[in-house]
Structure 1
Amino acid sequence: MFKKKFHTLIKRFLAGTLCLGLLASQPAVAYATEANVSVTPEAAHSTTYSQAADTDSVKGWPSGPCIEGQSAVLMDAVTDTILYSKNADDKLYPASITKIMTALLACENLKMSDTITMSQEAAYGIEAGSSTIYAETDEVFTVEQALMALMLESANEMALALAEKTSGSVKKFVELMNQRAAQLGCKNTHFNNPNGLPDETHYTTASDMMKIAKAAWYNPLFRKFVTTQTYEIPPTNKQSETRYLLNHHKMMAGQSYAYDGVLGGKTGYTNDAGNTLVTYAKRGNSILIAVVLNSTNGAFPDTTSLFDYGFDNFEKVDLNVDSDPVPTKFLPSEKYLLKNNGNTYPFYYMRHVYVTVPTGTDVSTLTRKQWLLNNSIGPKRIKSKYYFHDHMVGYGMQYEKEILSDLLLNTSF
């Protein structure tokens, strides 16, 4: 009992010390904590600052900004157009943006009203000084409260608790994280914990993290947690005081790097990972996602530069191809056309096919590639991708005509 109380006192003392450390630009030790996200404008530029964006090689594409981050991707969340890419496949440490995957899996598998009872392993399974809301063994929270603590205060013990609640153990949850990453098409990602604390076998890329960030954004429950600025956890069975949570993403409204249109996101920091950041922003009809990894002098200015570049130089355009039939020459064989009473029915586009292109682009100059997705179950489909000088800027799907009335009434890209 004495050891437990002593551990708790040490934990709270170090946490208090960490809070005072908010005024410092760099931490003394490496933890997945949001308090350490720092910006030092006077510092020398990173070694990759002047490196040209990979997307600069696309003919006619606007030149991307110089950023401090070693790796970054900016993408339109609707069309999947990569607006900016720099070292997108470099394997790097994600730090606490790992928690986007943790939150997504919890949203996909748990009820928000269910309760979580903190185990000894979850409450005290994190390093001293790590981001925490000081949850105690046997303390009871709802899943919603745990997720708010995870995404706003980056509470590492809540990552462990949610992992145990979802899969029965942290080990099994990590297996689920890697399975889900593979499902999303991640090729260079391996998770080894649910919170992003330092681990040589825990890494991702900006490209893979973008896939995870997009999938999470399209989960309505996840959006609630990533866009919330403040939240209160009332007294619990172990804590007599209300906990006040604050989102540490400084580009949200009212914060020090507030940016018009930013909806939310997730920050991260360790000594080895540097500053990492995932941010969602919307202006007009465009929703952009920015991922920045290993930004030595702060990821908020980097993300500001990326969003300025994206919103100022590109536009999302509706191709207006509703009910536009596919020419027969693009189909692999007549046998794939629907026939009824002697009549042949072509495939048709789903309504609203969007592309994201440099502002002022004549979309008639885009090229299109198509191929048949001949599933054994369900309707046959043709997928179309649109290209600006070989750079993908949007996509659409076509189905057999007879199912359009049922399928497309409430569907849009």
Structure 2
Amino acid sequence: MTIGFTSRAVVSTCVLCVAGLLALAPAAGAAGTGTDPGAGGGPRAAVPQPALLYRPGTQVRAHAGVPRLPDVSAMSWLVADAHTGEVLAAHDAHRRLPPASTLKTLFALTVLPVLPQGIRHTVHEDELAGIGAGSSLVGVAEGLTYRVSDLWRGVFLNSGNDAVHVLAELSGGWRSAATRMQAKARALGARDTHVLSPDGYDTPGQVSSAYDLAVFGRAGLRNAEFAQYCGTVEASFPGRGGSSYPIRNTNRLLSGADGVQPYPGLIGVKNGYTSNAGNTLVAAARRDGRTLVVTVMHPQTGGGFTVYEEARELLDWGFAAAGRAEPVGSLDALRVRSQPAPTAPVALPAAAVPAEDAGARWPETGAIAAAAALGAGAVALALRGRVVPRERS
């Protein structure tokens, strides 16, 4: 027998408590965990106004000696410095296109802070209702009990829409998740994104952009849990009868599957595909103390793996051009600021960077950790008096 919740009210109550705490946290008030608080530090070159990135075509301001941009067929793409937010080059950065499963980055930014990883939940039939035909699945089954951390691995590695549906229900419901994702996008300055289906499933009117997806990927790397999940290559997923089975990250630039060579220094983030969106990818890599994030949306030539090769070429160019190209925009340009940016340089969390960069931490980390701990405590207290035995199916 396993212990199950009498209803999802316990988890929903916890979610509301934690969400309230996050809203009050001074460091995370506007956008919660994953919000990029800006670069900070000493004087930098002036960043052009965001209007430059709204111009059609390719935008780049490289100095002499910088390699030419690669010939990229994607309908939209962008290369940015993950630390400073400076956009080094872009093509139709704000073009609104279907994002496919790269939208799960925004889902994670929205829901991760309000669901402690250790919560165990037995899946109900209604939580798996409404999954779109042809969806990618990790194998979540009715009647089985999962930790929240298991479900997140299903989201990041297998792009499991079934795992997204369960996590959305646990955090307040499908429509609520979409609404909160929309608010999160606006707080981060991602104004091209329109959320209708939190799992990224093709839905008329659901769009994002290379700019917005880079914003989400960059913000995600500042959340230690997000960074851990998106950089995991292999894991085990619970099955029936106490068994488990292996799952492998479908981001081939990370895993090296299907003949795609893994990119040295890659630290995530998320790939996607639908028939309408084509192949999409947000990828981040670190080299010589610098972290870049690239977005590639819907390559127009080659096969299904072209998205990885074009991302590879853009990363190579970005590392060669970094420090020798004037920025053409900033990932912070449209972000809602609820307080002044920190005055000291900041770094990615230890989960996403080598040990020598692990000393700095984002201000919101403490607030989120405290809120998550309180939420876990609330669940534990609630469960102490509100549990019933449920047979494992």
1:66 deviates by: 1.5
Aligned equivalents of 1:77 and 1:302: distance in 2?
Answer: 19
Say if 1:189 and 1:205, in contact at 8 Å, map to a contact too. yes
Q: Give the equivalent residue in structure 2 for 1:278.
A: 282
1:99-178 matched pairs, under 5 angstroms: 99-166=104-171, 168-178=172-182
1:393-412 matched pairs, under 5 angstroms: none
Deviates more, 1:108-117 or 1:133-142: 133-142
Deviations 1:103-143 (A, max 9, x none): 22222111000123323233242134321122222322111
1:62 deviates by: 5.5
Deviations 1:258-305 (A, max 9, x none): 111112221111111010001110001110111111123321111011
Query: Helix, strand or coil: the match of 1:89?
Result: coil
Q: Give the equivalent residue in structure 2 for 1:43.
A: none
Question: RCO greater where, 1 or 2, for CA within 8 Å and sep 6 or more?
Answer: 2
1:105-254 matched pairs, under 5 angstroms: 105-166=110-171, 168-235=172-239, 238-252=240-254, 254=256
1:8-407 matched pairs, under 5 angstroms: 54-56=58-60, 63-166=68-171, 168-235=172-239, 238-252=240-254, 254-255=256-257, 256-296=260-300, 297=302, 298-315=306-323, 357-358=324-325
Query: Helix, strand or coil: the match of 1:56?
Result: strand
Deviations 1:299-338 (A, max 9, x none): 11110110110112224xxxxxxxxxxxxxxxxxxxxxxx
Say if 2:272 and 2:280, in contact at 8 Å, map to a contact too. yes
Deviates more, 1:131-140 or 1:65-74: 131-140
Normalised to the residue count of structure 2, the TM-score between the two structures is 0.65
Aligned equivalents of 1:234 and 1:159: distance in 2?
Answer: 16
- The 1:278/1:93 distance shift into structure 2, 3 A limit, reads same
Aligned equivalents of 1:282 and 1:58: distance in 2?
Answer: 21
Deviations 1:154-207 (A, max 9, x none): 1101111111111x2101111000010010011111111111111012110111
Code of the residue aligned with 2:214 in structure 1: it is M
Aligned equivalents of 1:149 and 1:105: distance in 2?
Answer: 17
Q: What is the alpha-carbon root mean square deviation over aligned residues?
A: 3.0
Query: Helix, strand or coil: the match of 2:243?
Result: coil
Q: Give the equivalent residue in structure 2 for 1:335.
A: none
1:382 deviates by: 8.7
Aligned equivalents of 1:284 and 1:208: distance in 2?
Answer: 26
Code of the residue aligned with 2:60 in structure 1: it is D
- The 1:411/1:105 distance shift into structure 2, 3 A limit, reads closer
Say if 1:56 and 1:62, in contact at 8 Å, map to a contact too. no
Query: Helix, strand or coil: the match of 2:111?
Result: helix
- The 1:310/1:154 distance shift into structure 2, 3 A limit, reads same
- Gapped regions of structure 2 (runs ≥ 5): 1-55, 327-336, 347-358, 364-393
Aligned equivalents of 1:127 and 1:80: distance in 2?
Answer: 35
Percent identity reads 25
1:55 deviates by: 2.3
Query: Helix, strand or coil: the match of 1:211?
Result: helix
- The 1:135/1:308 distance shift into structure 2, 3 A limit, reads same
- The 1:63/1:106 distance shift into structure 2, 3 A limit, reads same
**Structure ID, larger Rg:** 1
Say if 2:158 and 2:248, in contact at 8 Å, map to a contact too. yes
Code of the residue aligned with 2:130 in structure 1: it is G
Aligned equivalents of 1:56 and 1:382: distance in 2?
Answer: 27
Aligned equivalents of 2:89 and 2:341: distance in 1?
Answer: 28
Code of the residue aligned with 1:308 in structure 2: it is D
Aligned equivalents of 2:283 and 2:296: distance in 1?
Answer: 9
1:383 deviates by: 9.1
Aligned equivalents of 1:151 and 1:101: distance in 2?
Answer: 12
Aligned equivalents of 2:276 and 2:341: distance in 1?
Answer: 45
Query: Helix, strand or coil: the match of 2:297?
Result: strand
Aligned equivalents of 2:360 and 2:99: distance in 1?
Answer: 37
Normalised to the residue count of structure 1, the TM-score between the two structures is 0.62
- The 1:410/1:86 distance shift into structure 2, 3 A limit, reads closer
- The 1:57/1:234 distance shift into structure 2, 3 A limit, reads closer
Say if 1:125 and 1:157, in contact at 8 Å, map to a contact too. no
Aligned equivalents of 2:341 and 2:231: distance in 1?
Answer: 35
Say if 1:53 and 1:84, in contact at 8 Å, map to a contact too. no
Q: Give the equivalent residue in structure 1 for 2:378.
A: none
1:101 deviates by: 1.2
